[in-house]
Homo-oligomer: A and B are copies of this chain.
Amino acid sequence: MARTVLSTAELRMPVVAAAAVQEFARGGYHGTTIADVARAAKISPAYVIKLYPRKEQLFVAALEACFDQVVEALAAGADRAQDTSPDGVLYTMGAAYAELIGDRTLLMLQVHAQSVADVPEIGTALRAGLREVVDFAKSRSGGSDEAVQRFIAYGQLCHLVVTAQIDEVPEAWARLLTEGIRHPA
């Protein structure tokens, strides 16, 4: 007979993944311990390892949860677009993304993932996430390749601004970089 209810392990894994998003976003892959994630998930380190036997698997689970939220936010943003031209949809998706990463968590996790993309499983997960984002942006907006590429490029600029905390620098070079990428609410 097929199981009709999820085991508690299957229920607990996404909770642990959510905790991993928070912790890895804070400390990065090498700067975060399994004990950190376990504490955030309120279980023992040993049980985290039982759910995700290797640290990379834990990071990959966090990264997948991160990209799920990103695509979901882009979709919600696109649905809100008044101007349904490709550029209009892309602009609204950009605004939705800017709002999503207001707390830095999901953005930092992506940057940390870039930093350790040499770990095979993490590189694969990163490319899978990017593929989802790019494919969605392209198909949902109907924009040209160039427009979608520009969308991603300015998203990466946004990552730089946030990681280096350039938006708190009042000098000219910093304002040049941040100009226009803060979307109006």
Provide the residues of chain B in CB contact with A131, threshold 8 Å: 171, 173-174
Q: How far is the CB of A21 from the nearest CB of chain B, in Å?
A: 16
Number of interface residues of A (CB under 8 A): 41
Given A152-B160, A156-B160: A176 and B134 within 8 A (CB)? Answer: yes
Structural contact, A148 and B134, CB atoms closer than 8 A: no
A30 interface residue per 8 A CB criterion: yes
Q: List 10 A-B contacts (CB under 8 A).
A: A28-B116, A111-B114, A127-B166, A127-B169, A130-B164, A130-B173, A131-B174, A149-B180, A153-B156, A153-B157
0 or 1 for each of A112-138: is its CB under 8 Å from B? (1 = yes): 101111000001001100110011001
What is the chain B residue whose CB lies nearest that of A145? B176
Main secondary structure of the interface of A (DSSP, over half): helix
> Which of chain B's residues have a CB closer than 8 A to the CB of A160?
114, 130, 152, 156
Is A69 part of the binding interface, using a Cβ–Cβ cutoff of 8 Å?
no
Number of copies of this chain that the complex holds: 2
Contact yes or no, A177 B134, CB < 8 A: yes
CB-defined contacts of A153 to chain B, threshold 8 Å: 153-154, 156-157
- Say which residue of B116, B157, B169, B179 sits within 8 Å of A156 (CB atoms): B157
Given the known A-B contacts A123-B165, A164-B123, are A116 and B152 also in contact in the complex, defined by CB atoms under 8 Å? no
For residue A159, give the distance in angstroms from its CB to the closest CB of chain B. 7
Q: Are B163 and A115 in contact (CB under 8 A)?
A: yes
Contacts of A170 in B (CB 8 A): none
